[in-house]
Amino acid sequence: MPRNHFDIRFTYPLEGYPSTLLLTATVTWNNTDHCYSLEDIRLPGGSNMPVMPPVSLRKSAGKWVHPDSESASLLSENAGAAIDAAEAC
């Protein structure tokens, strides 16, 4: 059973650069849509202003994808791995 509400930290690779951003997000399980909502995606210790809009993710066939497109991305893979780690605790 998914946890209802928790925070994660994950890295987000910057395409074309050898760097990554460390991000945090608040994760909420949406029981109706059977997906996770990532909100308040921000830099840790920063101004607490979100750096991107909310994102929905779900696991499909063992892969983290965006529910609207059923496609994986660097964001879904990295944030999904952090959700897996949080769920395992």
DSSP output for 25-57: EEEEEETTTTEEEEEEEE-TTS----SS--EEE
Which tens digit of pLDDT belongs to each residue from 6-61? 999 999 998 888 999 999 999 999 999 999 999 999 999 877 789 999 999 999 99
At residue 88, the 3 state secondary structure works out as helix
Q: Is residue 8 within 8 Å of residue 33, measured between CB atoms?
A: no
The pLDDT value recorded for residue 4 is 84
Which amino acid, residue 24?
T
Q: Which of 28, 11, 16, 15 is nearest to 78 (CA)?
A: 11
- For the whole model, what pTM was predicted? 0.90
Q: Which helix (H) or strand (E) holds 56?
A: strand 55-60
The pLDDT value recorded for residue 1 is 53
Q: Where are the domains of the chain?
A: 5-88
